[in-house]
Structure 1
Amino acid sequence: MAKHRIYTTSFASVYPLYVAKAEKKGRTKAEVDQVISWLTGYGQEELNTQLEKQTDFETFFAEAPMINPSRALIKGVVCGVQVEDVKEPTLREIRYLDKLVDELARGRAIDKILRK
Protein backbone atom coordinates (compact mmCIF):
# COMPACT_ATOMS: atom_id res chain seq x y z
CA MET A 1 0.00 0.00 0.00
CA ALA A 2 1.36 3.42 -0.98
CA LYS A 3 2.06 5.99 1.69
CA HIS A 4 -0.35 8.88 2.10
CA ARG A 5 0.92 11.99 0.32
CA ILE A 6 0.97 13.97 3.58
CA TYR A 7 4.16 12.09 4.53
CA THR A 8 6.13 13.78 1.74
CA THR A 9 4.46 17.16 2.19
CA SER A 10 6.76 19.78 3.65
CA PHE A 11 5.84 20.71 7.21
CA ALA A 12 6.85 24.29 6.32
CA SER A 13 4.14 24.40 3.64
CA VAL A 14 1.40 23.51 6.15
CA TYR A 15 2.73 25.48 9.13
CA PRO A 16 1.53 28.88 7.80
CA LEU A 17 -1.94 27.35 7.38
CA TYR A 18 -1.93 26.27 11.04
CA VAL A 19 -0.89 29.78 12.07
CA ALA A 20 -3.46 31.45 9.80
CA LYS A 21 -6.23 29.23 11.14
CA ALA A 22 -5.35 30.13 14.73
CA GLU A 23 -4.86 33.86 14.03
CA LYS A 24 -8.17 34.04 12.19
CA LYS A 25 -9.80 33.04 15.47
CA GLY A 26 -7.81 35.48 17.63
CA ARG A 27 -5.01 33.14 18.71
CA THR A 28 -1.29 33.72 18.13
CA LYS A 29 1.63 32.15 16.30
CA ALA A 30 3.30 31.72 19.71
CA GLU A 31 0.37 29.57 20.85
CA VAL A 32 0.64 27.42 17.71
CA ASP A 33 4.37 27.01 18.42
CA GLN A 34 3.60 26.12 22.03
CA VAL A 35 1.19 23.39 20.93
CA ILE A 36 3.73 22.00 18.44
CA SER A 37 6.44 22.08 21.10
CA TRP A 38 4.21 20.29 23.62
CA LEU A 39 3.44 17.52 21.12
CA THR A 40 6.91 17.05 19.63
CA GLY A 41 9.45 18.42 22.10
CA TYR A 42 10.91 20.84 19.55
CA GLY A 43 12.20 24.09 21.03
CA GLN A 44 11.74 27.33 19.08
CA GLU A 45 15.19 27.14 17.43
CA GLU A 46 14.72 23.48 16.48
CA LEU A 47 11.28 24.23 15.06
CA ASN A 48 12.68 27.10 13.01
CA THR A 49 15.44 24.80 11.72
CA GLN A 50 12.86 22.22 10.61
CA LEU A 51 10.89 24.94 8.84
CA GLU A 52 14.02 26.26 7.09
CA LYS A 53 15.04 22.76 5.97
CA GLN A 54 11.56 22.21 4.46
CA THR A 55 11.38 18.91 6.35
CA ASP A 56 8.57 16.59 5.31
CA PHE A 57 5.99 15.46 7.88
CA GLU A 58 7.40 11.94 8.16
CA THR A 59 10.88 13.25 8.97
CA PHE A 60 9.49 16.02 11.19
CA PHE A 61 7.88 13.48 13.51
CA ALA A 62 10.70 10.91 13.17
CA GLU A 63 13.24 13.51 14.32
CA ALA A 64 11.04 14.95 17.09
CA PRO A 65 13.13 15.24 20.27
CA MET A 66 10.43 13.91 22.58
CA ILE A 67 6.92 12.96 21.54
CA ASN A 68 4.66 13.78 24.48
CA PRO A 69 3.27 10.63 26.13
CA SER A 70 0.12 12.56 27.10
CA ARG A 71 -0.84 12.82 23.43
CA ALA A 72 -2.86 9.62 23.90
CA LEU A 73 -5.34 11.79 25.80
CA ILE A 74 -6.19 13.61 22.55
CA LYS A 75 -9.56 12.37 21.36
CA GLY A 76 -11.99 13.53 18.73
CA VAL A 77 -12.64 13.82 15.04
CA VAL A 78 -10.38 15.44 12.44
CA CYS A 79 -11.38 15.31 8.78
CA GLY A 80 -14.14 12.85 9.65
CA VAL A 81 -11.76 10.40 11.32
CA GLN A 82 -11.46 9.58 15.04
CA VAL A 83 -7.82 10.41 15.81
CA GLU A 84 -7.52 7.65 18.38
CA ASP A 85 -8.61 5.09 15.75
CA VAL A 86 -5.86 5.91 13.24
CA LYS A 87 -3.66 2.79 13.08
CA GLU A 88 -0.58 4.13 11.28
CA PRO A 89 1.64 5.85 13.90
CA THR A 90 2.95 8.78 11.83
CA LEU A 91 -0.47 9.60 10.43
CA ARG A 92 -1.86 9.49 13.98
CA GLU A 93 0.78 12.01 15.10
CA ILE A 94 -0.19 14.30 12.22
CA ARG A 95 -3.86 13.99 13.17
CA TYR A 96 -3.00 14.75 16.80
CA LEU A 97 -1.35 17.98 15.66
CA ASP A 98 -4.36 18.83 13.47
CA LYS A 99 -6.67 18.26 16.42
CA LEU A 100 -4.58 20.46 18.74
CA VAL A 101 -4.61 23.31 16.21
CA ASP A 102 -8.39 22.85 15.78
CA GLU A 103 -8.88 23.10 19.54
CA LEU A 104 -6.73 26.23 19.62
CA ALA A 105 -8.74 27.83 16.82
CA ARG A 106 -12.00 26.97 18.58
CA GLY A 107 -10.93 29.00 21.59
CA ARG A 108 -10.22 26.19 24.01
CA ALA A 109 -8.03 27.19 26.95
CA ILE A 110 -4.34 26.42 26.39
CA ASP A 111 -4.13 24.40 29.64
CA LYS A 112 -6.89 22.11 28.40
CA ILE A 113 -5.31 21.81 24.95
CA LEU A 114 -2.04 20.76 26.59
CA ARG A 115 -3.94 18.23 28.72
CA LYS A 116 -2.90 19.77 32.06
Structure 2
Amino acid sequence: MNAYFAVIVTLFLTVYGQLILKWRILKYGSLPEELKPKILFLFKLFLDPYILSGFFAALLASVLWMAAMTKLELSKAYPVMSLAPALVFFLSILFLNESYSHGKLVGLLLIGLGVIVTFKF
Protein backbone atom coordinates (compact mmCIF):
# COMPACT_ATOMS: atom_id res chain seq x y z
CA MET A 1 0.00 0.00 0.00
CA ASN A 2 1.26 3.47 -0.83
CA ALA A 3 2.20 5.30 2.37
CA TYR A 4 0.67 8.61 1.30
CA PHE A 5 -2.56 6.81 0.42
CA ALA A 6 -2.59 5.41 3.96
CA VAL A 7 -2.11 8.92 5.37
CA ILE A 8 -4.95 10.32 3.26
CA VAL A 9 -7.29 7.50 4.28
CA THR A 10 -6.26 8.13 7.90
CA LEU A 11 -7.21 11.77 7.41
CA PHE A 12 -10.66 10.95 6.04
CA LEU A 13 -11.34 8.31 8.70
CA THR A 14 -10.40 10.84 11.38
CA VAL A 15 -12.72 13.45 9.90
CA TYR A 16 -15.51 10.90 9.56
CA GLY A 17 -15.14 9.90 13.20
CA GLN A 18 -15.37 13.49 14.42
CA LEU A 19 -18.39 14.34 12.30
CA ILE A 20 -20.30 11.17 13.12
CA LEU A 21 -19.68 11.58 16.85
CA LYS A 22 -20.90 15.15 16.85
CA TRP A 23 -23.94 14.29 14.71
CA ARG A 24 -25.04 11.51 17.04
CA ILE A 25 -24.29 13.44 20.22
CA LEU A 26 -26.52 16.23 18.93
CA LYS A 27 -29.33 13.64 18.69
CA TYR A 28 -28.91 12.67 22.36
CA GLY A 29 -28.63 16.14 23.87
CA SER A 30 -26.44 17.47 26.66
CA LEU A 31 -24.48 15.50 29.21
CA PRO A 32 -26.42 15.32 32.50
CA GLU A 33 -24.95 16.93 35.61
CA GLU A 34 -25.52 14.09 38.07
CA LEU A 35 -23.07 11.16 38.11
CA LYS A 36 -25.46 8.24 37.60
CA PRO A 37 -27.41 9.82 34.69
CA LYS A 38 -24.07 10.93 33.24
CA ILE A 39 -22.74 7.35 33.25
CA LEU A 40 -25.98 6.02 31.72
CA PHE A 41 -25.90 8.75 29.08
CA LEU A 42 -22.33 7.92 28.09
CA PHE A 43 -23.09 4.21 28.07
CA LYS A 44 -26.04 4.84 25.75
CA LEU A 45 -23.76 6.87 23.45
CA PHE A 46 -21.19 4.10 23.46
CA LEU A 47 -23.82 1.58 22.29
CA ASP A 48 -25.02 3.75 19.39
CA PRO A 49 -24.05 1.95 16.14
CA TYR A 50 -23.02 5.17 14.41
CA ILE A 51 -20.78 6.16 17.31
CA LEU A 52 -19.31 2.66 17.27
CA SER A 53 -18.56 3.18 13.57
CA GLY A 54 -16.68 6.36 14.54
CA PHE A 55 -14.63 4.36 17.06
CA PHE A 56 -13.94 1.72 14.42
CA ALA A 57 -12.87 4.47 12.00
CA ALA A 58 -10.44 5.75 14.65
CA LEU A 59 -9.03 2.26 15.16
CA LEU A 60 -8.59 1.71 11.42
CA ALA A 61 -7.04 5.19 11.09
CA SER A 62 -4.53 4.25 13.80
CA VAL A 63 -3.57 1.04 12.02
CA LEU A 64 -3.12 2.86 8.71
CA TRP A 65 -1.12 5.58 10.43
CA MET A 66 1.23 2.97 11.90
CA ALA A 67 1.65 1.43 8.45
CA ALA A 68 2.42 4.83 6.94
CA MET A 69 4.97 5.57 9.67
CA THR A 70 7.01 2.55 8.54
CA LYS A 71 7.58 4.29 5.19
CA LEU A 72 7.40 8.06 5.80
CA GLU A 73 9.07 10.63 7.96
CA LEU A 74 6.68 12.07 10.51
CA SER A 75 7.59 15.56 9.32
CA LYS A 76 6.31 14.63 5.83
CA ALA A 77 3.15 12.76 6.88
CA TYR A 78 1.83 14.86 9.75
CA PRO A 79 1.22 18.08 7.80
CA VAL A 80 -1.42 16.19 5.80
CA MET A 81 -3.25 15.54 9.07
CA SER A 82 -3.37 19.28 9.71
CA LEU A 83 -5.98 19.39 6.95
CA ALA A 84 -8.42 17.63 9.32
CA PRO A 85 -9.57 20.87 11.01
CA ALA A 86 -10.30 22.43 7.62
CA LEU A 87 -12.29 19.43 6.43
CA VAL A 88 -14.19 19.21 9.72
CA PHE A 89 -14.87 22.95 9.53
CA PHE A 90 -16.38 22.85 6.04
CA LEU A 91 -18.24 19.57 6.48
CA SER A 92 -19.67 20.58 9.86
CA ILE A 93 -21.08 23.71 8.24
CA LEU A 94 -22.54 21.63 5.43
CA PHE A 95 -23.93 18.69 7.40
CA LEU A 96 -24.34 19.93 10.97
CA ASN A 97 -25.38 23.53 10.25
CA GLU A 98 -22.58 24.89 12.41
CA SER A 99 -21.64 28.55 12.26
CA TYR A 100 -18.56 30.02 10.66
CA SER A 101 -16.69 33.29 10.70
CA HIS A 102 -14.28 35.03 8.39
CA GLY A 103 -11.59 34.71 11.06
CA LYS A 104 -11.94 30.93 11.10
CA LEU A 105 -11.80 30.86 7.33
CA VAL A 106 -8.61 32.92 7.26
CA GLY A 107 -7.08 30.65 9.89
CA LEU A 108 -7.89 27.57 7.85
CA LEU A 109 -6.44 29.14 4.73
CA LEU A 110 -3.24 29.78 6.68
CA ILE A 111 -3.16 26.10 7.71
CA GLY A 112 -3.51 25.13 4.05
CA LEU A 113 -0.73 27.50 3.09
CA GLY A 114 1.43 26.00 5.83
CA VAL A 115 0.87 22.51 4.43
CA ILE A 116 1.85 23.69 0.96
CA VAL A 117 4.99 25.38 2.29
CA THR A 118 5.90 22.22 4.24
CA PHE A 119 5.76 20.09 1.10
CA LYS A 120 7.58 22.60 -1.09
CA PHE A 121 10.59 23.12 1.21
TM tier relative to shorter chain: under 0.3
The structure richer in helix per residue is: 2
Q: Which has the higher contact order (CA 8 A, sep 6+)?
A: 2
How does the TM-score come out when normalised to structure 1?
Answer: 0.24
